[in-house]
Chain A
């Protein structure tokens, strides 16, 4: 069932993304899409995979701002994902010394704090270009777990004592809800809708901003930063804003992910992990970087592939093999589909074996 939902999501998004399509068909496709995702928890047995895909999509939409539109390939957004989860947990936890605020206070607050941190880092890092910027952001990714575990700041006698609980925190548990005679269970329904709202936030922000002055200034920076500045674009402001936005969406996804998992630690594969770091970039690459529907399609393709593999290899512990799958998909996409599926959707060109071979041979020496 989940596979069918992924498939419908891809097909309907493809329709919506076609540039020369009848507006009525486009609106119908989008409405149908949203309808399907609203009723999904009632027609499928488990929404766990859908939840994962939707939060990953939100994080990928974040990466898309800095890596796609602005053309600054950040490699460390998983640091903000993890930080978002930790800050949110620190505000929401019931453990002693934590305020135990509700999620609609804790998560937005965490998003704002992470965006501010990213803004400060961005002011320094965004002076760098190309690979220098990428490696520097990768440095953030490596250093962040150490910062979260740093006794001098967050230890028992630190600046903010035990804020991060020495690298391990618990979110409060969520109870099932009863609305209009329906029982909405936490995992199947409530977290799913939270995940869906993060993905829609990402999509909405991207759709809105890509056609704004801000969006165009990012594209101008990507194409030629000096020329953009001459034309009156304030490059520093735009880049830092894009970086903050990308960190904010990563933190939002991370916080929701953590809320569902309940227990978070710096060691956990679910947060400061290479797989997370890679996932958002693969999603954008598969769909097409710097596009509104790219991450949407990319996330469903990537998680669709994973779901297929899971169906056909039931005896494997899938989480252990996730990074292997990601690495393989990543290499194949870079070699065979370097400009993403959106290129084909936009140009109306057909996706055939020949187009894969053509992509492969295009840049060889």
Chain B
């Protein structure tokens, strides 16, 4: 029974990790930016959710749309007025720029909110749905629903709306898309905004499941990168698969092998990069869908 519980824990965590990496994958696949400010975006959302809950008493699940909207605006403006200035520079430049943004945001947050641990704890925070011997925490169940819901929405959005098709067109061929009348800088900002909103959704969920401080997020950049590499860049099902695989490996390796989680992530990352750099379901960017 223990074994089944571990599988369930891994699946629950993994589906949330997939949501965490989805925005990162979109930004990387479409804008060709390895966005190192992703973790800081998650951090901002976690704090926003926490303050809405502790200050206004707003339930984290109800405030989820507010958090996502706020983070969308943040991401949109950041891309439009900062990152768009270096989009044609060598790839290292955007990488460095986002690392600078990450450092600035995290260090400002540390000054403003200190390194105290916080967690949003609505009434259902520490309760679980019990089926037989199995425990399913309500916050994580909410997480899996939000996670799959948003993944499906993104999938449909990219496939069936005009803006979604424009995004994919830009991913395929920037010059051709511009000739067809697509406003490139707007599409970049839109995509980055969506990425930030998805990171925001994860941050909101995370604030209910884990205690956090401004400096406890740095691992998410590497984790998101690893999940996207494992699943394959440019594939939404790949992100889901990468996330769930990571959730399971985390759970089992953490239980039976080592408690050094960061070493595990690093090990998997190196293994995947060296053995199969295109990932399990990989293709180049989101153009190929």
Binding site for B on A (CB under 8 A): 73, 75, 124-125, 127-128, 130-132, 134-136, 138-140, 142-143, 146-147, 150, 274-275, 278, 281, 285, 320-321, 323-324, 326-328, 330-331, 334-335, 338, 360-365
Complex-state Cα separation, A35 to B269, whole angstroms: 49
The answer to whether A365 and B107 have CB atoms under 8 Å apart is no
Interface status of B66 (Cβ within 8 A of chain A)? no
A–B complex contacts, Cβ < 8 Å, 20 sampled: A124-B270, A125-B270, A128-B273, A131-B91, A132-B273, A132-B277, A143-B263, A146-B261, A150-B260, A274-B103, A323-B107, A323-B110, A327-B102, A327-B105, A328-B104, A334-B86, A338-B93, A362-B89, A365-B84, A365-B188
Q: Report the Cα distance A48→B263, complex, angstroms.
A: 35
B 78-108 to A, binary, CB cutoff 8 A, 1 in contact else 0: 0000101111110111011101111111111
Binary interface profile of B, 266-286, with partner A (CB < 8 Å = 1, else 0)? 100110011001000000000
B100 touches A361 (CB 8 A): no
List 12 additional contacts besides A131-B92, A131-B95, A365-B184; criterion CB under 8 Å.
A127-B274, A131-B34, A134-B92, A138-B221, A142-B222, A278-B99, A324-B104, A326-B107, A335-B85, A363-B88, A364-B88, A365-B84
Write the nearest CB–CB distance from B104 to chain A, whole angstroms. Answer: 3
B218 within 8 A of A: yes
Given contacts A132-B277, A138-B222, A364-B84, whether A324 and B263 have CB atoms under 8 Å apart is: no
Q: Max chain B CB contacts within 10 Å: which of A127, A128, A131, A361?
A: A131
Using known A-B contacts A139-B266, A363-B93, determine if residue A327 contacts B103 with beta carbons closer than 8 Å.
yes
Pick the residue among A130, A142, A278, A320 that contacts B103 (CB under 8 A). Answer: A278
Whether A327 and B100, one on each chain, are in contact in the complex, defined by CB atoms closer than 8 angstroms, is yes
Task: Among A73, A125, A138, find the residue whose CB has the most chain B CB atoms closer than 10 A.
Answer: A138
In the bound assembly, the distance between CA atoms of A100 and B183 in angstroms comes to: 66
Q: Which residues of A contact B269 (CB under 8 A)?
A: 135-136, 139
Q: Which of A132, A327, A328 has the most CB of B within 10 A?
A: A327
Query: How long is the Cα–Cα vector from A288 to B247 in the complex, in angstroms?
Result: 42
A23 vs B97: C-alpha distance when bound (angstroms): 38
With both chains docked as a complex, state the minimum distance between the C-beta of B77 and any C-beta of chain A, in angstroms: 15
Which B residues lie within 8 Å of A285 (CB)? 96
Complex-state Cα separation, A152 to B264, whole angstroms: 15
Residues of B contacting A363 in the complex (Cβ-Cβ under 8 angstroms): 85-89, 93
> Distance (Å) between the CB of B181 and the closest chain A CB?
15
Is B262 a contact of A327 with CB atoms below 8 Å?
no
Is the Cβ of B103 less than 8 Å from the Cβ of A334? no
Q: Which of these, A125, A136, A323, A330, contacts B99 with CB under 8 Å?
A: A330
Bound-state CA distance A298–B23 (Å) is 35
| Inter-subunit contact B107/A130 (CB<8 Å) | no
| Bound Cα distance from A7 to B95, whole angstroms | 31
Residue of A nearest to B87 (CB): A365
Interface residues of B in 170-188 (CB under 8 A from A): 184-185, 188
For the complex, give the distance between the alpha carbons of A361 and B95 in Å: 18
Chain B hits for A128, CB < 8 A: 273-274, 277
Please measure, in the bound complex, the distance between the C-alpha atom of A138 and the C-alpha atom of B261, giving whole angstroms: 15
Q: Bound complex: CA of A142 vs CA of B101, how far in Å?
A: 19
Q: Is the CB of B91 within 8 A of A140?
A: no
B262 lies within 8 A of A146 (CB): yes
Report the separation of the CA atoms of residues A335 and B84 in the bound assembly, to the nearest whole angstrom. 11
B111: interface (CB < 8 Å)? yes
Residues on B with beta carbons closer than 8 Å to the beta carbon of A147:
260, 263
B91 and A324 contact, CB distance less than 8 A: no
B70 at the interface (CB under 8 A from A): no
| Contact (Cβ within 8 A) A327 B101 | yes
A312 to B273, CA, bound (A): 48
* 7 A-B pairs with least C-beta separation: A327-B104, A323-B107, A330-B100, A327-B103, A363-B89, A139-B266, A331-B100
Q: How distant is B255 from chain A, measured CB to nearest CB, in Å? A: 16
What chain B residues lie within 8 Å of A125 (beta carbons)?
270
CB contacts (< 8 Å) of A334 on chain B: these are 86, 93, 96-97, 100
The CA-CA distance from A281 to B93 in the complex, in Å, is 12
Q: How far is the CA of A331 from the CA of B36 in the complex (A)?
A: 13
User: Could you say which residues of chain B place their CB within 8 Å of the CB of A328?
Assistant: 100, 104
CB proximity of B266 to chain A, nearest CB, Å: 4
Taken together as a complex, chains A and B put the C-alpha atoms of A31 and B91 apart, in Å, by 40
Q: A361 with B104: in contact, given A127-B274, A142-B262 (CB under 8 Å)? A: no
B89, B91, B184 interface centre (most CB from chain A within 10 Å) = B89
Give every chain A residue within 8 A of B99 (Cβ-Cβ). Answer: 75, 278, 330
A75–B102 alpha-carbon span in the complex (Å) = 14
How far in angstroms is the closest Cβ of chain B from A137?
10
Chain B residues with CB under 8 Å of A140's CB are 266
**A124 partner residues in chain B, CB cutoff 8 A:** 270, 274
B265 beta carbon closer than 8 Å to chain A: yes
Q: How far is the CA of A132 from the CA of B269 in the complex (A)?
A: 10
Contact B111 A324 (CB under 8 A): yes
Q: Which of A150, A274, A323, A365: most chain B Cβ within 10 A?
A: A365
Instruction: List A contacts of B229 (CB < 8 A).
Output: 132
**Contact between chains at B96 and A281 (CB < 8 Å):** yes
For the complex, give the distance between the alpha carbons of A150 and B188 in Å.
43
Contact of B96 among A143, A330, A362 (CB under 8 A): A330
Chain A residues closer than 8 Å to B265, beta-carbon distance: 139, 142-143
